[in-house]
Amino acid sequence: MDNMKPVRILFVCLGNICRSPLAEGVMRELASRAGCGDVVSVDSVGIGAWHIGHPPDRRSIAVAKAHGIDITDQRGRQIDAADFVAFDLILCMDRHNTSELLRLASPETAHKVHLFMKFAAGRNDDVPDPYYETADAFEALYQTLEAGCSSLLAKLERPS
């Protein structure tokens, strides 16, 4: 990926234990497999502070592991003002996350905040929160995130 510019991506969900850590793991793995892991930097955060310092939900860990991805070293953290400056793309899992971050962003950084599936795949869809669901919902989450991250990576690989 010689023509790919370095990019710093931040995935955001409500608590940073289900969707965004899995998206971080999936994107990191896909970028590595594509040979551009050195230019794609990925992290994840939550809007809320409930899970700061906690590992991802065991069901997110399990579905990631089933697909050959290890997210066990991730720890939950909350978005802060420095993130708006440090990252090039801030990709939110749902409309609520997006509106909350647009409220927190400065006028100079608001252009970085996007609904993940709309930015990545052109679909104005939320990524459903599986927290109160069964393990099957986490497999569906993985499939959604893999498709979105694949589209995002293809978009980033195309020279602008």
HSE (CB half, 13 Å, CA atoms) of 54? 16
User: Whole-angstrom Cα distance, residue 134 to residue 147?
Assistant: 21
Looking at 3.40.50.10540, 3.40.50.2300, 1.10.510.10, 3.30.2350.10, the CATH number of the domain 7-157 comes to 3.40.50.2300
DSSP secondary-structure letter at 112?
G
Residues with catalytic function: 13, 19, 129
Tens of pLDDT along the chain (160 residues) come to: 457 789 999 999 999 999 999 999 999 999 999 999 999 999 999 999 999 999 999 999 999 999 999 999 999 999 999 999 999 999 999 999 999 999 999 999 999 999 999 998 888 899 999 999 998 999 999 999 999 999 999 999 885 5
Q: Which residue has the tokens 């931040």?
A: 10
Residue 129 neighbours by CB under 8 Å, 6+ apart: 13, 14, 18, 19, 93, 94
Please state the domain extents for the chain. Answer: 7-157
Cβ density class 91-117: b for 16+ within 10 Å, e for less:
bbbbeebbebbeebbeeebeebbbbbb
**E strands, the chain, where?**
7-13, 40-46, 89-92, 113-115
